[in-house]
Amino acid sequence: MIKYALICDREHGFEGWFGSSADYDDQAERGSVECPVCGSAAVSKQIMAPAVAGTKAKGDPDVAPQMRSMMMEAMGKVRAYVEENFDYVGDAFAREARDIHEGKSEERGIYGEATPTEVKKLVEDGVPVASLPPKPEDVN
């Protein structure tokens, strides 16, 4: 696993974890790396200082796969919790989130789909939203 400090074109800073540098490059090229604050896919890496292990810290070669597995499991649990406890509103997410924020609809947890433009407008208007982790990869 590799962790990058990322920033979107609206200067929202966040971190992203990737299996490799090539994974980041591939996802960024496809527009799959989005800002969790505004949904912008115009994301770039920030300058980072590398983590350098000293002579005392011999790296276990199995740590990276274990870390990836742990992160994927945690993200899967977050997604499962949301899917089990929140209302799915489909492509009406942006409208419903705004209605809840403005008191026009019942206060509750919701999830669904929204375009990056819709997410950006919600964030600009102060509506609290967050991206849902992706569905776990099918290992079959």
User: pLDDT digits over 76-99, tens only?
Assistant: 888 889 999 999 999 999 999 999
Tell whether the model's pLDDT for residue 112 goes beyond 80. Answer: yes
Across-strand partners of 5?
15
DSSP 38: T
What's the pTM?
0.53
Q: What is the mean pLDDT of residues 134-139?
A: 63
Categorize the per-residue pLDDT at 140 as very low, low, confident or very high, splitting at 50, 70 and 90. Answer: very low
Amino acid at 19: G
CA angle 88, 93, 98 (to 5 degrees): 125
Query: Which residue, among 21, 11, 23, 130, has the nearest Cα to 75 in the 3D structure?
Result: 130
Q: What is the mean pLDDT of residues 14-35?
A: 85
Q: What is the pLDDT of residue 139?
A: 43
Tell whether the model's pLDDT for residue 110 goes beyond 90. Answer: yes
Q: What is the mean pLDDT of residues 108-125?
A: 90
Sequence-ordered list of residues with C-beta below 8 angstroms from that of 130, at least 6 positions apart, any chain: 36
